[in-house]
Chain A
């Protein structure tokens, strides 16, 4: 159909030489076209666009300024955060130092008290041991005397003659000594 239409246009062009679809047959279109275009250009250039472009420029400056302010605020916030972290870490270090100092003090005090208690225990133990040795020695002496008396009585019964307990005493002492009487 398009070709048919073009053919028709061509045929018409052949029929009527006065018709020229390309060039305007009056200067009016050129004149008004130029007038309206230059009016558009001039009014946009000098009336319409300057306030709008200035508003855009102001906005860009404002955005830039706000952006810089935001960047500055962000930097300040970052500085505050770093200060806070520094303070926190210093506080933690100080706390750790204090804890360490207290721990050392407590350890020293504990060691001192343990030592004192151990010394006291050792003294008490030594005293008890001495008392025990004394009691044992006394008991052993009593036992040795009793054994000597018993041995003298038994020997008197065997030999049908009186035996002096004092004479038996060295032998009993010797037996007691050999059988662990000092323990």
Chain B
């Protein structure tokens, strides 16, 4: 689909008719990817599934390499992977769950790497598509977080967990008419929803931003006079690429941290 912008001054770009103008890729090309194989089945494999495969295989292989014969004094790759473990341990688990949170390290580490590597494909040349700009991955991970923190709460407090969450102690009984539905919604509906939407929306917005500036730069390249706009547009594209590199990490960290916070809240609902 070819669309020429009608707003000034970009209408100039559309002056070329079919032969010129700003061509913005259709939305299908931005977020939807054709099947590579198993088309029409529930196992339809496309570019997103391939990115998910890479996000799975990279951390597993890296951790497997260093776990075969871990040295007493870590060096090189082992040092790097142990730094990742330390990062999740110190920055996510300890502040959000506390010393009891060690057992959730594998899940949070898997979650962090799975999201981060999936996000990094936003800026990897020739890929340029974050897996989490599709709702599937954020939805799955949010459901995992939901099941996990409810499971932890029930495991440690039995059904008293729901009582602690829905009927917070210290609140006047009359206010339970308001508080209980609010807690029910915020804890069991809005939490996973916000987790999924935050990740998905941030990555999709970043993806559209990069596509927009890329299309602008490519289009302006063909216009002698307007090419001067590339002096601004191209550095902006580079800057946004760096920004999205940071966002990729930040969103993975936020998702892992919030999941840990919810698990910590389920372990100690009275807090």
Contacts and interface: CB of A to CB of B under 8 A. Distances in A.
A119 to B, nearest CB: 86
B127 interface: no
A12 B26 contact: yes
**Chain A interface, DSSP helix/strand/loop, else mixed:** helix
A49 B200 CA distance: 29
**Chain B interface, DSSP helix/strand/loop, else mixed:** helix
B106 A28 contact: no
A118 interface: no
Interface of B: 1, 3, 5, 7, 10, 24, 26-28, 30-32, 35, 38, 40-46, 48-49, 52-53, 55-56, 59-60, 63-64, 66-68, 70-73, 78, 81-82, 85, 105-107, 109-111, 113-114, 131, 134-137, 139-141, 144, 200, 204, 208-209, 211-213, 215-216, 233
Given A1-B212, A2-B212, A19-B27, A40 B136 contact: no
B46 A29 contact: yes
Interface string A1-22: 1101110110111000001011
B49 A32 contact: yes
Given A2-B209, A45-B106, A47-B64, A23 B135 contact: yes
Interface of A: 1-2, 4-6, 8-9, 11-13, 19, 21-34, 36-37, 39-41, 43-45, 47-56, 58-59, 62
Contact of B46 (A28, A37, A56): A28
A2 B236 CA distance: 12
A37 B85 contact: no
Contacts of A29: 46, 48-49, 52, 134, 136-137
Given A33-B49, A44-B110, A52-B67, A39 B135 contact: no
Contact of B63 (A9, A11, A30, A52): A52
